[in-house]
Amino acid sequence: YPSNLQMEESSGLKQAMCRAKGGAPGFKVAILGAAGGIGQPLAMLMKMNPLVSVLHLYDVVNAPGVTADLSHMDTGAVVRGFLGQPQLESALTGMDLVIIPAGVPRKPGMTRDDLFNINAGIVRTLCEGIAKCCPNAIVNLISNPVNSTVPIAAEVFKKAATYDPKRLLGVTMLDVVRANTFVAEVLGLDPREVDVPVVGGHAGVTILPLLSQVKPPCSFTPQETEYLTNRIQNGGTEVVEAKAGTGSATLSMAYAAVKFADACLRGLRGDAGVVECAFVASQVTELPFFASKVRLGRIGAEEVFQLGPLNEYERIGLEKAKKELAGSIQKGVSFIKK
Ligand code: NAD
Ligand code: LMR
């Protein structure tokens, strides 16, 4: 009898051949940090995504268990597990999209920047692997502090001469998901009908919801604007405090990450008009990185949209956001340059 591994390999190969015959689109996706609080539900949701043909799950712990578990789901994607640094290159080779939720989460009383010392090094190592093994992959970076880890990734790719700003996207989708939910509550609408652009970055005052641009068009009292802005900016802290030391948002983040990854894959497939907010290299402000709406296409963030008209409240918020963002970006850049 063949070993379990041989059986998995051979059934994976047969499945892949079946899909190739049917001509179904299938992308190869790796999740780095796949055994974590975000990684596991994210891996499950990606295993259910019909655009994914191969799913590589990499972590420094527990990757084989998560892989065995998910591999029994009767969905199309073939799942393979990779454990520890020696298997990083195999995990990354040939990938179209790499999603990174690896790193430590916050505990109550911490800022996202307090995670820098541990997560900066993790992101650097993983991005060095990407530069070597799949330099053309789209990268979705979730690990905090996003305002610094995206500049870190950019510097790693620059050093390796593989940097393409269109392919590096910091994931700020959870801010949009929260904004849609909280705004819908205030308006008495179904959150699926609401679209709130959230720009800037992914920490405190750098998270800037543009409530004047909500769709469907609506207006808010000054009190509602203040309440919504504060709640959206502190959504992560709300979850960290409710979890009381056991971690930060994982389930809503996995949902948001899949929503964003799916948009990236639809863009890669060539779908027209795929637009989402993300933290990317940008010329929208004087800062080198900024979150705003981007159009996702075959080569990543093909177009970065301007912010559009802002009201007085948002203009003040923008100045505060830019001040904090400038320091966080510089901190990330210096980490690699030094
Ligand atoms: P977690 O501790 O539950 O999981 C992290 C996983 O990363 C663990 O399985 C761990 O083994 C793995 N890991 C650690 N070092 C690694 C390495 N060198 N290579 C590969 N994997 C490694 O944490 P979590 O709750 O899943 O959060 C992960 C990160 O995502 C945190 O930094 C958190 O702040 C961030 N986060 C970001 C957003 C966002 O909106 N961008 C939202 C929520 C959480
Ligand atoms: C979030 O917004 O939920 C994440 O950035 C995690 C955190 O630390 O708040």
Q: What pLDDT digit, counting tens, does each position of 123-158 carry?
A: 999 999 999 999 999 999 999 999 999 999 999 999
195 is in an annotated binding site: no
State residue 25's pLDDT score. Answer: 63
pLDDT tens profile 279-317: 999 999 999 999 999 999 999 999 999 999 999 999 999
- In the block, tokens 């990734």 appear at 153
Ligand 2 in contact with 37 (CB < 6 A)?
no
Q: What is the mean pLDDT of residues 310-329?
A: 98
State residue 338's pLDDT score. Answer: 84
Residue 143 CA to ligand 1 center (angstroms) comes to: 6
Distance of alpha carbon 301 from alpha carbon 260, whole angstroms: 12
Q: What is the mean pLDDT of residues 40-51?
A: 98
Q: Strand 138-141 to strand 168-170: parallel, antiparallel, or no bridges (unpaired)?
A: parallel
Ligand 2 in contact with 249 (CB < 6 A)?
yes
Distance of alpha carbon 209 from alpha carbon 234, whole angstroms: 12
Ligand 1 in contact with 146 (CB < 6 A)?
yes
pLDDT tens profile 196-251: 999 999 999 999 999 999 999 999 999 999 999 999 999 999 999 999 999 999 99
Ligand 2 in contact with 126 (CB < 6 A)?
no
Q: Identify which of 146, 124, 128 has the alpha carbon closest to the alpha carbon of residue 335.
A: 124
pLDDT of 10 above 50: no
Ligand nearest to the CA of 140: 1
pLDDT of 1 above 90: no
36 is in an annotated binding site: yes
266 is in an annotated binding site: no
Tokens at residue 16, please? 């892949």
Distance of alpha carbon 291 from alpha carbon 147, whole angstroms: 9
Place 18 in a pLDDT band, splitting at 50, 70 and 90.
Answer: very low
Which backbone phi and psi does 99 adopt, to 5 degrees?
-110, 130
Closest C-alpha to ligand 2, atom 9: 236
Distance of alpha carbon 323 from alpha carbon 326, whole angstroms: 6
Answer yes or no: is the ipTM higher than 0.90.
yes
Residue 290 CA to ligand 2 center (angstroms) comes to: 18
Ligand nearest to the CA of 84: 1
State residue 312's pLDDT score. Answer: 98
pTM confidence score: 0.95
Question: Annotated active-site positions, please?
Answer: 202
- In the block, tokens 């604007």 appear at 225
Question: Can you list the positions of beta strands (E) in the chain?
Answer: 27-32, 52-59, 78-83, 97-100, 138-141, 168-170, 198-200, 207-209, 275-281, 289-297, 300-304
